[in-house]
Chain A
Amino acid sequence: MNSPTTSPLLSVRHLVKEFQMKAMRRSGRRKRIVQAVTDVSFDVHRGETLGLVGESGSGKTTVGRCVLRLIEPTAGQVAFDGVDLAQLNFEELRQVRRKMQIVFQDPYASLDPKMTVGASIAEPLVVQGIDGNHEDKVVSLLELVGLSADHARRFPHEFSGGQRQRVGVARALALDPALIVLDEPVSALDVSIQAGVVNLFGDLQQRLGMSYIFIAHDLSVIRHIADRVAVMYLGKIVEIGPAAAVYEHPTHPYTKALLSAVPLPNPRVERARSRIMLEGEIPSPVNPPSGCRFRTRCWKATELCAMQEPTLEIRGHGQLSACHHPEV
């Protein structure tokens, strides 16, 4: 693990992203603002994997996109290797982007069907104006992700889902990034195939030492791969810390409920387990609840929770959580 003295690779502070919804003329509805991400701060250290979990609408994907500035954050700082990305001009940003890559959920949608896989993998090299023999580089990348040289001449439709995701990973690796955002990279794959791709991410990190932000809704996969985990709910981080602490000793009621809702593939354990059944569903990010955003579904909520927003505070097992009535 990283010693606290080394500066983090990525440092996100008070990140905010709001989306404006168009006014609807006929219904007379005024312009509304979706608060997708509100005041999110976290660090990613060199060579570590930060898991970002949450249900749909929690803002986890938006955080990933804001980090890469694929979408412009509304407010807050994103510093990569000590450089605030918001201060950079277009050319400077382009240089930094070489070091930050992304892998999407659906490799079929992120690969051009009319380009050979080799050309797709070489494209980042071309775009960044890197000279040299791209062919050799492509072959070494293909081998790195467990494919072979003759795959370079084939087209995306000739690959299975798992292979296609490996192609997406090879392309992300082309520029030797220091950080890769993995946005639900194995969610579309069958479990028997998923296992191989998850192993690949681990192996690559061990060999090349890059950091990952691993975004997923599958808590078991995150548990397996992440060093630290951030749990998001309605645009905020409710709990963040070492994976073992968050999973074994969750302190935020939402984390606890989320973990208890995941069905475990062991009938004996699964049936003996007590479950917290959450009422209702995630509220609208247009009009989030006052105070703690989870209070409308929380069995511990009191008046205080509606009046005052809890801040992230350090808890017993080394994690931070934002709750007025944390679990102990």
Chain B
Amino acid sequence: MPTPILEIRNLQVTFNTPVGPLVAVRGVDIDVHAGEMLAVVGESGSGKSVSFLAAMGLLPRSATVTGSVLLDGQQIVGMSPKQMRSVRGRLMSMIFQDPLSALNPVHRVGAQITEMLRAHSKMSERAANARAVELLEIVGIPQPGDRAMQYPHEFSGGMRQRVVIAMAIANSPKVLIADEPTTALDVTVQAQILEVIQRVQVQFGTAVVLITHDLGVVARVCERVNVMYAGCFVERGNVHGIFEQPTHPYTRGLLASLPQTGVERLVPIAGFPPNMLRPPSGCAFRARCDHAVEACGSAIPPLVPVGESESACIRASELMGRK
């Protein structure tokens, strides 16, 4: 296996809140390889976004980040803000759910892409302008020359997200983190944006980390999948393994709760996710799990190989055999 482009080890994020420390991420390990499309799946509050905001150095000062984030061999945790600025946007960029808040309303979109280019390289203004138009063309914006002269409010939601992608890939980063990039878009536009992201991944060999709650999107475009719950990865593996033979009760629960053809009655997961101000001992899912036993409460179970995947359930092999 080649060395990963992004290597995260034992990442922990704690927010200091007025009511005490809130542990959002509790020891996350992840390898992202060049050119792959990797999914990080989880529900609200699972820590999926926070993990990568931490890796990007974008968390507020109330957050304490520990562990190791190696990007192309460079340690990111503990970098000075100045060093971080030279990494962000050049080696690794991030796009978000709401493209309007990622764009400056009073500047033309072309100028915003130009700014991104010139922040990281000694490019003449003219060359940068030309490159900005090229980038708009790459992400599929018609009449890119004219569109570059327009303001964000003149673009539709889908077109804005394309502009943000153009900005994110301006300096050919090695890693693109896409945090719910299509959640605010209509399905027909979502299909277009997913295609743009896939094209970037293939054409430029950019590794893409797709953070999403939408398992359909994962099934369409990702190869490896990481399932997150209460600040930990509970399962990871190849997309086919995860969907066809899920090993963790939480993954199984998620899939069973989806409305699918032929399913008469949906099966929700009982209860609620834990309050991370008081994280539970042991497996965080055990309070909602039908298969929990006493041993589940003793320690956070590590990911161990089960079948084709890795599972953080101490009973995974046993339960797989039973099924």
Report A's interface with B, CB cutoff 8 A.
Answer: 55-56, 160, 162, 190-196, 198-199, 202, 217, 219-221, 223-225, 247, 257-258, 261-268, 270-271, 275, 277-278, 281-282
Point out which of B186, B215, B244 has the most chain A C-beta atoms below 10 A from its C-beta.
B186
B261 at the interface (CB under 8 A from A): yes
Residues on A with beta carbons closer than 8 Å to the beta carbon of B269: 192-193, 195
In the assembly, what is the distance between CA of A55 and CA of B158, in Å?
13
Closest A residue to B253 by CB, please name it.
A192
Task: For the A-B complex with A55-B186, A192-B253 known, give 17 more contacts whose Cβ atoms are closer than 8 Å.
Answer: A55-B189, A56-B186, A191-B213, A195-B267, A195-B268, A196-B266, A198-B266, A199-B266, A220-B216, A220-B259, A220-B260, A224-B259, A247-B261, A261-B188, A266-B260, A270-B216, A281-B186
| A55-B188, A199-B265, A224-B259 known; A191 vs B216 contact (CB < 8 Å) | no
Residue B293 lies at the interface, judged by CB distance under 8 Å to chain A: no
Interface of A is mostly: helix
Q: Which residues of B contact A265 (CB under 8 A)?
A: 215-216, 218-219, 243, 255, 258, 260
Contact A190 B188 (CB under 8 A): no
Residue among B192, B215, B240 making CB contact with A268, cutoff 8 Å: B240
Q: Are A191 and B188 closer than 8 Å at their CB atoms?
A: no
Q: Which residues does chain A contribute within 8 Å of B189, judged by CB atoms?
A: 55, 281
Q: Are B243 and A267 interface neighbours, CB within 8 A?
A: yes
30 A-B pairs within 8 Å (CB atoms) are namely A56-B186, A162-B272, A190-B43, A190-B44, A190-B213, A191-B213, A191-B215, A191-B254, A191-B257, A191-B258, A192-B43, A192-B253, A192-B268, A194-B257, A194-B268, A195-B259, A199-B265, A217-B186, A217-B187, A220-B259, A220-B260, A223-B261, A262-B187, A263-B219, A265-B258, A267-B239, A268-B243, A270-B216, A271-B220, A281-B158
Provide the bound-state CA to CA distance between A268 and B238, in Å: 12
In whole angstroms, what is the CA distance A277 to B196 when docked?
12
How many chain B residues touch the partner (CB < 8 A)?
A: 42
Rank and list the top 8 A-B pairs by shortest CB-CB distance, nearest first: A263-B216, A196-B268, A195-B266, A195-B268, A224-B259, A195-B257, A55-B186, A192-B269
Question: Shortest beta-carbon distance, B166 to chain A, in Å?
Answer: 17
Inside 8 A of B266's CB, which chain A residues have their CB? 195-196, 198-199, 224
> For residue B216, which residues in chain A have a CB less than 8 angstroms away from its CB?
220, 262-265, 270
Given contacts A265-B215, A265-B243, contact A223 B190 (CB under 8 A): no
Chain B residues with Cβ under 8 A from A192's Cβ?
43, 253-254, 257, 268-269
CB <8 Å contact, A266 and B243: yes
A281 to B187, CA, bound (A): 11
Closest B residue to A200 using CB positions = B268
CA distance A238 to B116 in the complex (A): 44
- Mask for B95-127, Cβ within 8 A of A = 1, else 0? 000000000000000000000000000000000
Q: Are B187 and A219 in contact, with the CB atoms below 8 A?
A: yes
Does B214 sit at the interface, judged by CB under 8 A? Answer: yes
**How distant is B322 from chain A, measured CB to nearest CB, in Å?**
22
Known contacts: A55-B187, A55-B188, A257-B188. The answer to whether A267 contacts B263 by CB under 8 A is no
Q: Which residues of B contact A199 (CB under 8 A)?
A: 265-266, 268
- CB of B252, distance to nearest CB on chain A (Å): 11
Q: How far, in whole Å, are A190 and B265 apart by their CA atoms in the complex?
A: 17
Tell me, in angstroms, the Cα distance from A275 to B216 when the chains sit together: 14
Asked whether B156 is an interface residue with its Cβ less than 8 Å from the other chain, the reply is: yes
Cβ-based interface call for B202 (8 A): no
Contacts of A56 in B (CB 8 A): 186
Chain A minimum-CB-distance residue to B222: A267
